[in-house]
Amino acid sequence: MNLLTIKDMPDDVMKEVINKAIELKKEGNRNRDDLEGKVLISLYEKPSTRTRISFETAIYNLGGRSIVMDFKSSQISRGETMADTARVLSRYGHVVSARLFRQTTLEELAKSASVPVINALTDLEHPCQALADMQTVIEYGKEKGKLVYIGDSANNVANSLMLAAARYGMHVVLCSPSHFPPKDEYVEAARKTGAKVDVESDPKKAVAGADVIYTDVWISMGMESQSEERVKQFAPYQLNGELLKLAKPDCIVLHCLPAHRGAEITDEVLDGENAKSVWDQAENRMWAQEALLLKLLKE
Ligand code: CP
Ligand code: NVA
């Protein structure tokens, strides 16, 4: 089994992994031997702090080992194909995770790999993030509530999240400027779960009564050439104290991080009481990926 998108991960498998993550965190044992002798190979075409380190700690906590290879120092930078790379890495490791610019490159890699492949973020989705996001939502008891994603609701994080949240029956609201709408195919897939999924361009209307507000950067990796336009268009969608006041008083704030403080989120919000959840969310990357690695390698 691969994890290339949340879209292709069956609902019951997704929930099983999230429940396992919650259980692993409660147990808190960081010295397990479940994956002794297993090797995780991670490929990075773009930068990472959380994904890389949480995957490494996750495999170490389970008794396995980790090898990270970035594109620049590998033969990929000199033209070796993804297919050949996949064939070779499958002879060394038991599972491969990859952070790539394009989903199509990930699919190429997965097609020729003979071990499970995990999407560690592409332009289309960030499924590992969504697992940790929903773990956090559940830990705070908000999985039956209203989740508002504000900002670039067509990005990788939003795509994976809207589907994962809809599968729990949350009321999902996607809030962005009307000419930066969420992706139709993801909104449709989220609605197909039976959940209420709204698209709203007015931030005040969107966040009214929210239980969870999620935001992410306006300029994802690879979109740097659109920076000027995006900063202008998304400015009214900043998550600030004034906007947060319209949500429920115990609303939790989520952000996948890294945050661009003063852009999509203010210091006041990120350092405030409602955003304590952000640091739990970052920690949960490790537990969710432990659960995922167990699912992929133990069965
Ligand atoms: N949230 C997340 O994926 O962070 P990194 O880019 O630091 O891995
Ligand atoms: N949407 C962001 C997420 C970073 C973790 C990006 O792709 O840059």
What residues does each domain of the chain span? 11-125+285-298, 129-281
- Residues 139-164, mean pLDDT to the nearest whole number: 98
* Active-site hit among 94, 126, 167, 230: 126
The string of pLDDT tens digits covering residues 112-135 is 999 999 999 999 999 999 999 999
pLDDT at 299 over 70: no
- 171 has catalytic annotation: no
Ligand nearest to the CA of 260: 2
pTM: 0.98
Ligand 2 close to Cβ of residue 216 (< 6 A): yes
Assigned CATH topology for domain 129-281: Rossmann fold (3.40.50)
Average pLDDT, the chain: 98
Percent of the chain with pLDDT over 70: 100
Query: Who contacts 115 (Cβ-Cβ below 8 Å, separation ≥6)?
Result: 89, 90, 93, 94, 95, 96
- 128 has catalytic annotation: no
Confidence band of 94 (pLDDT split at 50, 70, 90): very high
Residue 129 is predicted with a pLDDT of: 99
Question: Hey, do 11-125+285-298 and 129-281 end up sharing a CATH topology, with the first three levels equal?
Answer: yes
Query: Who contacts 148 (Cβ-Cβ below 8 Å, separation ≥6)?
Result: 173, 175, 206, 207, 210, 212, 213, 214, 247
Ligand nearest to the CA of 159: 2
Q: Which CATH superfamily is domain 11-125+285-298 in?
A: Aspartate/ornithine carbamoyltransferase (3.40.50.1370)
Confidence band of 15 (pLDDT split at 50, 70, 90): very high
Residue 168 is predicted with a pLDDT of: 98
CA of 222 to the centre of ligand 2 (A): 9
Residue 155 alpha carbon, nearest atom of ligand 2: 1
Strand positions, DSSP E, the chain: 39-44, 65-70, 95-99, 117-119, 146-150, 171-175, 197-200, 212-215, 252-255
- Residues 94-120, mean pLDDT to the nearest whole number: 98
Residue 52 alpha carbon, nearest atom of ligand 1: 8
Please report, for residues 72, 75, 265, the alpha-carbon distance to residue 79 in angstroms, rounded to integers and kept in the order given.
11, 7, 39
The string of pLDDT tens digits covering residues 16-43 is 999 999 999 999 999 999 999 999 999 9
Pocket test for ligand 1, best of 44, 157, 257, 285 (most atoms within 8 A of CB): 257
